[in-house]
A and B are shown apart, each in its own frame.
Chain A
C-alpha cells in the first residue's frame, strides 16, 4: 500500500500501461477509502450512543408513556401528537411552565454566553503581553475549566448557603452591602447564582479558544498598524476582532449550545426541582420525565428543544458564513 500510495502521489505512470493503471486505481480507492475506514468506529459509536437513543426518544414522544408502561415501553399506547399539543398549549399549565422555562433559558443563555465571551476575550488580550507570572496566571485561569463539574458546583452550593455561606459572609457581614443575609438558592436571586456559576465555569473555555486564535494573527499587522499610528484600541478594533471573527463564530455557537443545554450546573445547584426564576429547560424536561413520570411529554419537549436548536444553529451558520463570504470579496 505504501508503494501504491507513493507512486500515485508522484503520479509518474505513462499512459497506456494497463497493469500500472489498475494498480493506480486501487491505490486511489484505498487512499480515498482509508479516511472513511478510520472514521467507521467513531461513526458506529455515534450511531449507538446518540442516534439510536435519539430515534428512541422521538418514538417515545408519540406514546403515552407513564409509570404503567415504563417497564415495557413498547406496549405503551400511541398518543399521536397529544404530547406535543400539551407541550405547546400555552394557555394550560404544562405549556405555560414550558414557555416560562424556555424564556428563562434564552435570557440566561444570552447573558451567560455574552459574559463568558467578554471576560474570556479581555483576559486573552491582556495575556498577550509577556510579564512576570504570566504562565502561572494562565494556568490559574483554566482551573474552573479543569475542575470536575460536580465538585466545582457543590462548592458553590456551600458558598451560597444562607446561614454559613461565604457569599453572605462577604456581602453582608464584611462589606455590609445587604441589610440582611440573602437567599441565593431560593427565589429570584437563584438566577444570579446560576449565572455566576455558569460564567465562572464557562469563560476559561472562551479564554482558551481566543488565546489560540490570537496566536494566528501575524505580528507584522500590529507592527504596521503601530507605524501608521494606530493606538491600542484601534488595533483591537481593526485587527484583533476582525481576525478573530471565524474563531468567535465557532466559539459563540458552541458556548450557546452548551449553555442552553446545560444540565449539570442547575441540577447540582438546585436539585430536581429548580426555583422558578432559574428553571432551565434541561432540568424542566428532566422533571417532566423523571419526577412526574411523564416520559412521553418529556420526550416531546426534548424533540421540540432539538428542533429549536437546529433552526437557531442553521440560521446562525447561514448568516455568519454569508457575512464572511461578502467580507472575503
Chain B
C-alpha cells in the first residue's frame, strides 16, 4: 500500500500543479535583417479548407522566391486558432515574420505593440497609402495612429438567395427591407426548409450582424470617447431584432443556434435554407457544388429605403489585413513580401481565388471584379459599409457581445422568451465583463 500512497502523492502533486500553470515569456523589440533569405508567414484560412489555401498560395510564394530569392514558409491557421496563436506569439516573441489578421482586431493588436507601425516611410516602400481604398484603410488601427497593418482582402456582407426557391414561392425579387425579408422568409419556411440561415454559436458572425443592426438603429457599441455602451436603446433593439428572426419571426431554423462551423453555408448550398447573409460566399458555395447561376446576390436589407451611409449602413467593412511582427529577423524581406502581396497583379490573382474584393484601387478596376455579383459587394464597400469600432478593447467586445447573442439564440431555440429585458440583461452582463478603464 505504501507504493500506492507514494504514487498517489505524485499524481496529486502533479494534478495540483497543473491547476496554476500560466504562460509567460519575454520579448525583444525592433526588427532586424539577421536572416535575409527566409520568411515565415501565417495565412488565415480563406478558402474552403486549409488545403485549398495552400494550393492557392504556394504558386504565388514560389513566384516571390524566384523574384527575390527569399523563401517563404507558409502556415495556414484556422480562424478559431488565429487570435490565440497571435497572442502567444506576441507574449513569447516567437512568431512569424508576416501574418494575416482579421481587420476588426487591428486596434486590439495594435495596442499590444507587437506589430510594425505603417508610417509614411513604410508605406512608401510598398507604393504609398494612396493605392488603397479608404474604407479598407479604416480598419487598420485606431484613429490618429499609424496603421498596424495593410489591407489585403476586402469583403462585405450580402444577401445570397436561392433563385429556384424564390421562384417556387412566387417571389419575384430579393427583399430590400427587413419587413420584406420576414414576409418572404415566412413564405419560404415550410416542408423542413427555412427562410434564412444563421451561425448562432459563432460570436464573430453574431457581432457582425449585431453591429450592422445597431448602425441601422443609429447606435454604436461604444461611446464617442471609446467606452463600452452596450445597453443603449438602439443596441438592445438591434440585437433583439436580429435574434427575433429566429425567436419571433421563425424564419431561421432553431437548430442554427448551435451552428459555428459554417453549417449555414452548407445548408444554403444544399437548398435547406433559401437565404444567407454572408461575406464573399461564392468560392465556398462553388466548392460545395452549388452552381453560380443557382443563386443571386443582393444588398443586405435595411429598415427602409436603400442602403447608404448613416442608418442605412448594411455591412461591416470585412476583410483581412497583412501585418509584420515588429521583432522580425528579416524586416526588408517582410516589407518586400507585403509589397508583393499588395501589388496590382497579385491582388487580382488572390482576390479572384477567394472571391473577395481587392482593397487596392488599381486592381479593383479589373473587369473580374465588375461582375454583377462582385458589383454588389464593391458597391456596398464603397457606399454603405462601416468599420467596426477601432478601439483597443475590440476583440473583447467581439467575444462578450457575440457570446451574449449566442446565449439569446440558445434561449430562442429552446423556446424561452426573448424580451427587451432579457436582451438588455445579457448585454449588460457582457458590458460588465469588459475591462474597466
Instruction: List, in ascending order, chain B residues with CB within 8 A of A185's CB.
Output: 201, 258
Q: How far is the CA of A73 from the CA of B20 in the complex (A)?
A: 18
Tell me the residues in window 261-311 of chain A with beta carbons closer than 8 Å to chain B beta carbons. Answer: 261, 271-273, 275-276, 289-295, 298-299, 302-303, 305-306, 309-310
Residue with the highest number of chain B CB atoms closer than 10 Å, among A67, A74, A97, A275: A67
B20 touches A162 (CB 8 A): no
Instruction: List, in ascending order, chain B residues with CB within 8 A of A94's CB.
Output: 432-433
Among B1, B400, B414, B437, point to the contact of A292 (Cβ < 8 A): B400
B76 CB, min distance to chain A CBs, angstroms: 19
B398's closest neighbor in chain A, by CB? A291
Instruction: List, in ascending order, chain B residues with CB within 8 A of A50's CB.
Output: 14, 17-18, 21
Prevailing SS type, chain A contact patch: helix
A70 touches B90 (CB 8 A): yes
Instruction: List, in ascending order, chain A residues with CB within 8 A of B395's CB.
Output: 67, 293
Instruction: List, in ascending order, chain B residues with CB within 8 A of A253's CB.
Output: 8, 12
Interface size class of A (residues with CB under 8 A): 35 or more
Instruction: List, in ascending order, chain B residues with CB within 8 A of A294's CB.
Output: 435
Among B26, B203, B258, point to the contact of A273 (Cβ < 8 A): B203
A194 CB, min distance to chain B CBs, angstroms: 15
A254 touches B112 (CB 8 A): no
A231 within 8 A of B: no
B257 within 8 A of A: yes
Q: How far is the CA of A53 from the CA of B396 in the complex (A)?
A: 25
Q: How far is the CA of A93 from the CA of B404 in the complex (A)?
A: 14
A51 touches B432 (CB 8 A): no
A9 within 8 A of B: no
B102 within 8 A of A: no
Q: How far is the CA of A250 from the CA of B18 in the complex (A)?
A: 18
Residue with the highest number of chain B CB atoms closer than 10 Å, among A56, A71, A94, A298: A71
Instruction: List, in ascending order, chain B residues with CB within 8 A of A74's CB.
Output: 26
Tell me the residues in window 156-186 of chain A with beta carbons closer than 8 Å to chain B beta carbons. Answer: 161-163, 183, 185-186
A257 touches B15 (CB 8 A): yes
A247 within 8 A of B: yes
A298 touches B112 (CB 8 A): no
With A51-B17, A257-B15 as contacts: A72 and B8 at CB distance below 8 Å: no
Instruction: List, in ascending order, chain A residues with CB within 8 A of B345's CB.
Output: none
B365 within 8 A of A: no
B399 within 8 A of A: yes
A245's closest neighbor in chain B, by CB? B1
A68 within 8 A of B: yes
B403 within 8 A of A: yes
A254 touches B11 (CB 8 A): yes
With A56-B24, A185-B258, A275-B407 as contacts: A313 and B16 at CB distance below 8 Å: yes
B12 touches A313 (CB 8 A): yes
A258 within 8 A of B: yes
A123 within 8 A of B: no
Among A51, A70, A186, A272, point to the contact of B112 (Cβ < 8 A): A70
Instruction: List, in ascending order, chain A residues with CB within 8 A of B406's CB.
Output: 273
A71 touches B114 (CB 8 A): yes
Per-position binary interface string of chain A over residues 29-59, scored 1 when its CB falls under 8 Å from any chain B CB and 0 otherwise: 0000000000000000000001101101110
A308's closest neighbor in chain B, by CB? B19
A42 CB, min distance to chain B CBs, angstroms: 10
A186 touches B201 (CB 8 A): yes
Per-position binary interface string of chain B over residues 67-96, scored 1 when its CB falls under 8 Å from any chain A CB and 0 otherwise: 000000000000010001001001101000
With A57-B22, A74-B26 as contacts: A183 and B257 at CB distance below 8 Å: yes
A187 within 8 A of B: yes
Q: How far is the CA of A73 from the CA of B27 in the complex (A)?
A: 9
B239 within 8 A of A: no
B413 within 8 A of A: yes
A8 within 8 A of B: no
Q: How far is the CA of A303 from the CA of B21 in the complex (A)?
A: 9
A305 touches B87 (CB 8 A): no
Q: How far is the CA of A93 from the CA of B435 in the complex (A)?
A: 12
Instruction: List, in ascending order, chain A residues with CB within 8 A of B433's CB.
Output: 93-94, 97, 292
B84 touches A290 (CB 8 A): yes
A65 CB, min distance to chain B CBs, angstroms: 10
A240 within 8 A of B: no
Instruction: List, in ascending order, chain B residues with CB within 8 A of A72's CB.
Output: 26-27
B258 touches A70 (CB 8 A): no
Instruction: List, in ascending order, chain B residues with CB within 8 A of A67's CB.
Output: 108-109, 111-112, 392, 395
Per-position binary interface string of chain A over residues 48-90, scored 1 when its CB falls under 8 Å from any chain B CB and 0 otherwise: 0011011011101000001110111110000000000000000
B114 CB, min distance to chain A CBs, angstroms: 5
Tell me the residues in window 372-423 of chain B with beta carbons closer than 8 Å to chain A beta carbons. Answer: 392, 395-396, 399-400, 403, 406-407, 409-411, 413-414
A64's closest neighbor in chain B, by CB? B437
A254 touches B8 (CB 8 A): yes
Q: How far is the CA of A66 from the CA of B258 in the complex (A)?
A: 30
B27 touches A71 (CB 8 A): yes
Instruction: List, in ascending order, chain A residues with CB within 8 A of B294's CB.
Output: none
Residue with the highest number of chain B CB atoms closer than 10 Å, among A72, A246, A290, A302: A72
B255 within 8 A of A: yes
B5 within 8 A of A: yes
Instruction: List, in ascending order, chain A residues with CB within 8 A of B392's CB.
Output: 67-68
With A67-B112, A250-B4 as contacts: A306 and B24 at CB distance below 8 Å: no
A70 touches B87 (CB 8 A): yes
16 A-B interface contacts by CB (under 8 A): A60-B22, A67-B108, A67-B392, A68-B113, A70-B90, A183-B254, A183-B410, A186-B413, A254-B15, A257-B15, A290-B84, A292-B396, A292-B434, A294-B435, A305-B19, A306-B19
Q: B residues within 8 Å of A by Cβ? A: 1, 4-5, 7-8, 11-12, 14-24, 26-27, 80, 84, 87, 90-91, 93, 108-109, 111-114, 201, 203, 253-255, 257-258, 260, 392, 395-396, 399-400, 403, 406-407, 409-411, 413-414, 429, 432-435, 437
- Supplied contacts A298-B22, A310-B16, 14 more A-B pairs, CB within 8 Å: A53-B21, A54-B21, A54-B22, A58-B20, A67-B392, A71-B27, A163-B253, A250-B5, A254-B15, A261-B15, A292-B433, A302-B20, A303-B20, A313-B16
Q: Which 3 A-B pairs have CB atoms at the shortest separation, nearest pair first?
A: A57-B22, A257-B15, A93-B432
